[in-house]
Amino acid sequence: MCSASAAQDRARGAVISVECSMCHGADGIAPSEEVPNIAGQHYAYLLRQLENYQNGRRAGTIMQEVLRGLSRQQLKDVSAYFASIRISVAKVQTGGRDDVSRR
């Protein structure tokens, strides 16, 4: 993903990502617990999910609607953009807000 064309894909993807940001967050970290984080997710996985939403293989609540009219190249571009976001994962702390053992 270091070639000039990969950089172009990401740059075009960043523009498309504006359409995603109100739900998935500008940086791919979703503000709502109802929406998955997609920052730093693998490119191949992201692209497959988007294709599956578009072709109906994956049922979604809203994603079919969102992706209507996007070309395969646009799906690649936006996948490249979100995959390129670097995330870091903090060490687990028990007893916090997200500690499932407390639910």
Nearest CB to ligand HEC, comparing residues 19 and 27: 19
CB atoms within 10 A of CB 83: 22
14 is a contact residue toward ligand HEC (CB under 6 A): no
76 is a contact residue toward ligand HEC (CB under 6 A): no
How many residues of this chain bind ligand HEC (CB under 6 A)?
Answer: 19
| Residue 59 identity | A
> Of 75, 59, 73, which is closest to residue 20 (Cα–Cα)?
75
Site string for ligand HEC, 52-71 (x = CB under 6 A): --------xxxx--x-----
31 is a contact residue toward ligand HEC (CB under 6 A): no
How many helices and strands, by DSSP H and E, does the chain display?
A: 5, 0
